[in-house]
Amino acid sequence: MVLSKYQKGDTPKQIYHDLNGGLGLRTTERWCQMIWRSGTITLSKPPGGPCLVRTRENIQKVKNRLRRKKKVSARKISMELDMSERSVRRIVKNDLGLYPYKKVIEPLLSDDQKLKRKQFANWVRINFRKEDTLKILFSDEKMFDIDGVYNTQNDRVWAVDRADADKNGGTQQKRKFPQKVMVWFGACSKGLTPLVILDEGTVDHTVYIEKVLPVALKYGNQFFGSDWVFQQDGAKPHSHHLSQKWCRDNFPT
């Protein structure tokens, strides 16, 4: 307690000024007398005015409203229950201990895909030791367009008004049908492969076998010799039977 550091010789008015008006003068005098008499502050009731909005009844109403439909804003709850939005936010955060989490995007998997992932995970756990994982060449493709990428949440322009912001790069132009290019890339514990630019239309298994797999084979052998593993995802050019045959005939694993 802040008041406990003062001595009995200090006047309540001096303590009141030291606290910069954090307590009223009469409250400071009363609390000082309690501390000097018993060493503690014993209050008959909580300080401040009574809670007229954050009552048990209203807290239960907010709780039931969130339980019935979790996707609802504090503004809508305040309108439905006839209380201020600030009070609703205090009830949700302080009384109910809730926090507004964003939804996490995850792929929609079928039962067959889930089963295959479990089987693959168990196969890796049984057949791979820790040192074996350092000999994997990971690979993937990514589509890029000439409009670039920007983050609508974090890419901000500081300006006095909207017109000044637009003048200083506050607009992001985007074409309806921008030109796109596919880029392949490989990475492992020993280094990175060169980028393979695939800008000639659709990437099918023929293009994948002709332009990508030889690069992966060359740099995998350069990094690890004859003992390494090539990793690719389940895209159609990768899972095509001709691509699989090329991999079985050329890659060590």
Question: How do the domains of the chain map onto residue ranges?
Answer: 1-38, 50-105, 111-250
Strands 191-192 and 180-188: antiparallel
* Integer angstrom CA distances of residue 35 from 32, 39, 166: 5, 4, 62
CA dist., res. 86 & res. 91, Å (int): 9
Residue 125 pLDDT greater than 70, yes or no: yes
Query: CA 85 to CA 197: how far, in whole Å?
Result: 53
- Give residue 216's pLDDT band: very low, low, confident or very high (50, 70, 90): very high
Does residue 140 contact residue 233 with C-beta atoms inside 8 Å?
A: yes
26 or 224, which is more confident: 224
Find the radius of gyration of the CA atoms of the chain: 33
Put simply, whether the predicted model's pTM sits higher than 0.85 gets the answer no
For 234-245, the pLDDT digits (tens) are: 889 999 999 999
Write down the pLDDT at residue 136.
92
CATH fold label, 111-250: Nucleotidyltransferase; domain 5 (3.30.420)
192 - beta bridge partners? 187
Confidence of residue 218 (pLDDT cuts 50, 70, 90): very high
